[in-house]
Amino acid sequence: MNLVLRLATALCLALSGYLHAQLYVGGYRVIPVIGPAFLLQASAASAVALLLLVGGPLLLRLAAAGLAAGALAGFVLSRTTGLFGFSERGFQPAPQALLSVSAEVAVLVLVAITLYRARLRSRT
């Protein structure tokens, strides 16, 4: 079960990284602050996803959750108050926005399940 959770987390995080890389290459790179942030998210998510495939301690799952939460927070801010002057509407660009949000929510859920199971194990 732990292996399945780890691989699923890696897969979802890799998808989030891939979509951010695709948007970065496709034009977001010229947007001040947002461009470099997309690049960082894409490269860090890919790196953590790769390490999760190999193995990795619980700390790496927390890093995955942090990256997913950061991307989601950026998404929400860009649809509400704006983020460094950048703003978008709804699930645009499609389909990347929806896919990315789904992948990041999945990462958070998977890490939460992992942590819950680890806590249960440590009690027994």
Partner 1 sequence: MSEDPRDPEGMTRRQLLRHTAWFGAAVVLTVTGGEVISRIAAPGEAAAVNAAEDPNALRFVQISDSHLGFKGPANTAVESSFSQALEQINGLGYRPDFVMHTGDLTHLSTPAQFDQVKQMMSTLDTGHVSTVPGEHDSIDDAGQKYRQAFGAGTAGDGWYSFDVKGVHFIALVNTLSLEKLGHLGPDQLEFVRKDVAKLGSDTPIVVFSHIPLFAMYPAWGWGTDDATQALSYLRRFSSVTCLNGHVHQLFTKTEGNITFHSATTTAYPLPQPGTRPAPTPVTLPAGKLADALGIREVTYRPGQPGLAVKDVKLA
Of residues 63 and 101, the one with the C-beta less far from partner 1: 63
Amino acid code (one letter) for 122: S
Q: Nearest distance from residue 37's CB to partner 1, in Å?
A: 12
**At 89, phi and psi to the nearest 5?**
-120, 140
Residues 6+ apart with CB under 8 A from 41: 16, 17, 20, 67, 70, 71, 74
Q: Does 117 bind partner 1 (CB under 8 A)?
A: no
Could you say which of 87, 95, 112, 117 contacts partner 1 (CB under 8 A)?
Answer: 87
Of residues 70 and 93, the one with the C-beta less far from partner 1: 93
Q: Does 46 bind partner 1 (CB under 8 A)?
A: yes
**At 25, phi and psi to the nearest 5?**
-65, -35
CA separation for the pair 112, 114 (Å, rounded)? 5
Q: Which residues contact partner 1 by CB under 8 A? A: 17, 21, 24-25, 27-32, 34, 39-40, 42-44, 46-48, 50-51, 56-57, 59-60, 63, 82, 85-89, 92-93, 122
